[in-house]
Every structure is written in C-alpha cells, then in structure tokens.
Structure 1
C-alpha cells in the first residue's frame, strides 16, 4: 500500500462506512406506511444495543442526561455527514458539517462554578470541541468546492477529533 498523508483518514472513512452499511443491512427492511398514524417505535428491541457512548464514572446521572440531550442532535448530524461524504452528496455533507460547526458549544467553566456541568468535564473536551468546529468548517468548504480529496482528508481529520473527544469524555483526561 502506498503511504500518503491522507491514507489514515481514508482508511477510517472506509471502516466507518463499512460498519454502518453492515449494521444497516442486518436490520429489518422498512415496512410500508399505513394511512393510520403509527405508534411511536421503541429506540431498539429488548436486548439490542443502542449506539451510544458508555457511561463515564465521574459524571452524575443528571449531568449525563443533560449532555445526552445535546449530543443526540450532534450524533444525527455526524451520521448525515458520514453518509454525505461517503456517497459524495455534497449538499448533504455541507449542510451537516455546517450544523456541526455552528452548534452551540459548552463553555469552559467560569471561576466559582465548580458545581456546574462544565466544571465536571476535562479541559481537553473543550479544546477538542473547538478543534471539531474548525475541522467541520473545513469539511463544509471542501463540500462546497466539490473537492473530493479535501473532503475525504477533512472528514478523516474531523473523525480523529471526534474519537479523541469521546475518549477525553469517557476517560476524563
């Protein structure tokens, strides 16, 4: 394999994409819609894992609940971005990257706010949050230009930031 500066990001994109496609192909096919209003479906069947991060030991349940609300929309944007980039759907990729880059951020803790959610998170979380914003903008710009190479490289760097942020969140480092 020839090593190039974007080999690792491209491999990450391919692996993530393959995982999503395998998961999607294992699910039941969609049932036809009926004219009657459908009942709200459960998030997952009993015993079926829901895709989410593990629960960090250092955060109380109330804090995790607040973060979960914020991150649900973020997770959907990340899925939209992954499919938009992988399938070269430039408008979808650009829109998802823009939503990620402009979503409200958690601010660093203020002096005297030791009991607030923000003070419970590691400093690295905030650094990576800022980095994700910048990298999402780069992905949006690449999609706008329809530059496939820059799109793949930018998305790979953004995913690296996502993984590092999740690691900082889970491991409090």
Structure 2
C-alpha cells in the first residue's frame, strides 16, 4: 500500500520550491538593472534626436511604461477599478506642446508632427478605456484597449523611424 505524503512534507516541498523561485528571480534583477542602464528594455535612442530632446521624452515617459504595464494586466484580468484609474492617469498625463514658429532650438521642434497627433489620440483612446472599465463593459474594454495599444505602437514607430 502506497503512503500519501504527510502535510509537513508537502509544506516543506512548497517552501523549497518557493525559495528556489524567489532566488532565481532575485538573481535576474541585477541583469535587468544592467540592461536598463545600457538603454534597454525601453526603446532604443533614435539617431535623429539630440540628447536634450531624448531627455525631454524620457522625463515625460518616466511613469508611462509602468502605467502601460499596469493597464495591460488590469484590462486582461478585468480589474475594472484599476484599469479605469490607470487609463485616467494616462489620459491626464501632461503633453509635450507643439513647437512654436521660430523655436527650432526647443527639444520638441525635433519631433515629427505625427508624434503630436498620436499624443492627442492616446488621450482620447485612454479616455475610452476608462469609460469602458467604468461601465464594466468587457467587449468595449477589450476593443478600446486594443485601439489604445495600436496608437502606442504607431507612436513608438514614429519615434524610432521619424515617419
């Protein structure tokens, strides 16, 4: 007759597994930090933008990446309140103003016009995600989130390729 494992052995096995998992996770964090210091995991720096323009964008996007991850998880897991709050935060982010005539030295002057169009589109689409999350409308939430991500990818493409 085969013996069933005791509760103590199951707890020990679980603790050992969890310890190994946490240890592996902790070991990978320095590698992730090193990758970030070398320019990853974010977008690479495009050649056409001077450093002061890239610094302006880095400042604007500092919280943007975390918001994007939070929104992805909250929409996917149907955490409506978190999705709504995160989408509202994205929609309320300060925008980079279009450069004025004669301001060719401003960092924003180096950005293509399409960047500013997409910046406005992100705001509208994030508002749509927030509204769908507020209504707990799963179909509208997934559709509006998909459109928002489409805008994000377009904006990143413009940033990298200056379309």
Q: What band does the TM-score fall into relative to the shorter chain?
A: 0.7 to 0.9
Distance 1:164 1:61, change over 3 A: same
Deviation at 1:60, TM superposition (A): 1.2
Q: Does 1:87 align with 2:77?
A: yes
Contact 2:71 2:83 in 1 (8 A): yes
More helix by share: 2
SS of the counterpart of 1:58? coil
TM-score by length of structure 2 reads 0.78
Q: Does 1:101 align with 2:97?
A: no
TM-score by length of structure 1 reads 0.74
Q: How many residues align?
A: 139
More relative contact order, 1 or 2 (CA 8 Å, 6+ apart): 1
Q: Structure 1 stretches of 5 or more lacking a match?
A: 1-24, 32-40
Contact 2:53 2:108 in 1 (8 A): no
Q: Does 1:44 align with 2:32?
A: yes
Which shifted more, 45-54 or 66-75?
45-54
Q: Structure 2 stretches of 5 or more lacking a match?
A: 1-20
Q: CA-atom RMSD, angstroms?
A: 2.3
Q: Which residue matches 1:113?
A: 103
